[in-house]
């Protein structure tokens, strides 16, 4: 007799299903771990939500088990059996005491949870006590701009902060002011330092962050904002106060002007004039100390090479990648410049122009 292959196929199908489920569960759980985990708070404004999440999750788990347990009990207890005579179980219509209990208990639980929740919201967005560093956050498509009003510093993608110091983020989105028909909402989220907060065109929203230890904290825009939403990342470099003071000193120093006759000097000339094409200076500022610093359409490049990443913090900032970016930016980060002028244009640069511009940009380093 030939063996029936059906049980083997069923077992194989079941094994594949279990394997796929394990893989999907692993991927889902991996999103909750690592450098962007809200379950690993690194400062007081992240610790408070974490301390609230844990008991709420426990309460939710108990309620889930209780409700699902009752459902499973009812399904098993009152399932149809072969020997049933067709009659229905005894029906109970209304139980005032029970209804009061399952109405009052959830209401009490929600009321208890609401108190620390509302308190936490005010702590996240209210004015912190003590010495506070203010940073203005401007959401663009697709990068974040940071302005330090106390020091008149503009930078992009990477925010430097001192440890053990409350940082007050005053946030808005620039897209609406620049192009009224292109305004979109962003969301600023660095899980280990604070909760998320929307960045809204035409409005100012607030968020407090603080890092207890020096580290590089990762985050990203958490509100879909178009084609390169996933390429709009956040980097916060928390450093000791003395190191932060040194960073401020470097960032407030004007950019060096290359010596005449050098390749970098040729690049500086191209930066300001690309022979009828849109010059870099049209959208980017390199502050050389002769005029006031002012925001422009693109990131401030005064001390570009002091950053580790660029293009929305998705690429390492090195000579090779910088050259590739200038040559064909859309290949490194999808944008919509040809459609509606968003992002970095293709400047159609020659090899000689690329060499000169890269040489100039590499000099934009306060530590050079």
86-144 confidence digits (pLDDT tens): 676 677 777 888 889 889 988 998 888 888 888 887 777 778 878 899 999 999 989 99
Domain 263-361: assigned CATH number? 2.60.40.420
* C-beta of residue 153 within 8 angstroms of C-beta of residue 160: no
pLDDT for residue 104: 92
27-79 residue pLDDT tens = 555 444 446 787 888 889 888 888 888 888 898 899 899 999 989 998 888 77
pLDDT for residue 326: 92
pLDDT for residue 13: 65
Between CA 139 and CA 185 the distance in angstroms is: 8
Place of tokens 């990648």: 321
Provide the pairing of β-strand 143-148 with 205-209.
Answer: unpaired
**The CATH number of domain 35-70+99-233, selected from 3.30.1280.10, 3.40.50.2000, 3.20.20.70, 2.60.40.420:** 2.60.40.420
- Give the CA distances from residue 251 to residues 151, 254, 262, 301, 364, in Å, rounded to whole numbers and listed in that order: 9, 8, 24, 11, 11
The mean pLDDT value for 14-31 works out to: 58
The per-residue DSSP string of 50-102 comes to HHHHHHHHHHHHHHHHHHHHHHHHHHHHT---TT--SPPPPP----HHHHHHH
Question: Could you say which DSSP state residue 368 is in?
Answer: -
Q: In which band, very low, low, confident or very high, does the pLDDT at 18 lie, cut at 50, 70 and 90?
A: low
* C-beta of residue 197 within 8 angstroms of C-beta of residue 187: yes
With a cut of 50, say whether residue 227 has pLDDT above it.
yes
Question: Could you say which DSSP state residue 256 is in?
Answer: P
Between CA 40 and CA 34 the distance in angstroms is: 8
204-216 residue pLDDT tens = 999 999 999 999 9
Place of tokens 């049980």: 7
146-186 residue pLDDT tens = 999 999 999 999 999 999 999 999 999 986 545 555 678 99
* C-beta of residue 175 within 8 angstroms of C-beta of residue 183: yes
Domain with CATH 2.60.40.420 in the chain: 35-70+99-233, 263-361
Which parts of the chain fold into alpha helices (H)?
Answer: 6-30, 44-77, 96-125, 175-178, 241-251, 263-272, 319-327, 329-332, 337-340, 351-361
> Smallest Cα–Cα separation from 316: which of 160, 135, 193, 158?
158
Between CA 332 and CA 12 the distance in angstroms is: 42
252-307 residue pLDDT tens = 999 999 999 999 999 999 999 888 778 888 889 999 987 778 778 889 999 999 99
Reported as half-sphere exposure (CB side, CA atoms, 13 A), residue 198 has a value of 9
With a cut of 90, say whether residue 319 has pLDDT above it.
yes
pLDDT for residue 176: 56
Between CA 69 and CA 64 the distance in angstroms is: 8
Exposure string (b/e) for 254-281, b if CB count within 10 Å is 16 or more? ebeebeeeeebbbbbebbeebeeeebbb
Which residues of 108-266 form beta strands (DSSP E)?
133-140, 143-148, 153-156, 158-162, 167-173, 186-189, 197-199, 205-209, 215-221, 233-239
Q: Which residues contact 119 (CB under 8 A, 6 or more apart)?
A: none
């Amino acid at each position: 007799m030939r063996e029936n292959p059906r049980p083997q196929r069923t077992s194989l199908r079941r094994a594949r299903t279990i394997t796929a489920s394990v893989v999907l569960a692993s991927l889902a759980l991996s999103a909750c771990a690592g450098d962007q985990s809200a379950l690993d708070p690194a400062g007081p404004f992240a610790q408070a939500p974490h301390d609230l999440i844990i008991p709420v999750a426990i309460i939710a788990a108990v309620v889930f088990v209780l409700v699902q347990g009752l459902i499973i009990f009812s399904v098993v207890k009152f399932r149809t059996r072969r020997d049933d005579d067709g009659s229905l179980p005894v029906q109970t219509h209304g139980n005032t005491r029970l209804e009061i209990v399952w109405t009052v208990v959830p209401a009490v639980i929600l009321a208890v949870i609401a108190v620390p929740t509302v308190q936490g919201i005010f702590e996240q967005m209210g004015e912190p006590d003590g010495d506070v560093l203010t940073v203005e956050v401007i959401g663009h498509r697709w990068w974040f701009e940071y302005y330090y009003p106390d020091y008149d510093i503009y930078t992009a993608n990477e925010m430097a902060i001192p440890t053990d110091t409350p940082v007050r983020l005053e946030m808005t989105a620039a897209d609406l002011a620049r192009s009224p028909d292109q305004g979109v909402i962003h969301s600023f989220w660095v899980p280990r330092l604070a909760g998320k907060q929307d960045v809204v065109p035409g409005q100012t929203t607030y968020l407090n962050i603080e890092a207890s230890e020096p580290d590089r904290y990762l985050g990203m825009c958490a509100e879909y904002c178009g084609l390169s939403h996933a390429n709009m990342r956040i980097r916060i470099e928390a450093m000791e106060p003395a190191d932060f003071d040194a960073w401020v000193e470097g960032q407030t120093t004007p950019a060096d002007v290359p010596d005449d006759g050098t390749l970098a000097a040729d690049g500086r000339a191209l930066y300001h004039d690309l022979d009828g094409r849109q010059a870099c200076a049209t959208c980017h500022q390199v502050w050389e100390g002769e005029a006031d610093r002012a925001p422009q359409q693109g990131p401030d490049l005064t001390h570009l090479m002091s950053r580790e990443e660029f293009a929305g913090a998705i690429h390492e900032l090195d000579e090779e990648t910088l050259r590739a970016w200038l040559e064909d930016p859309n290949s490194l980060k999808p944008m919509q410049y040809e459609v509606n002028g968003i992002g970095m244009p293709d400047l159609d640069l020659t090899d000689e122009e690329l060499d000169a511009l890269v040489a100039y940009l590499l000099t934009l380093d306060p530590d050079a």
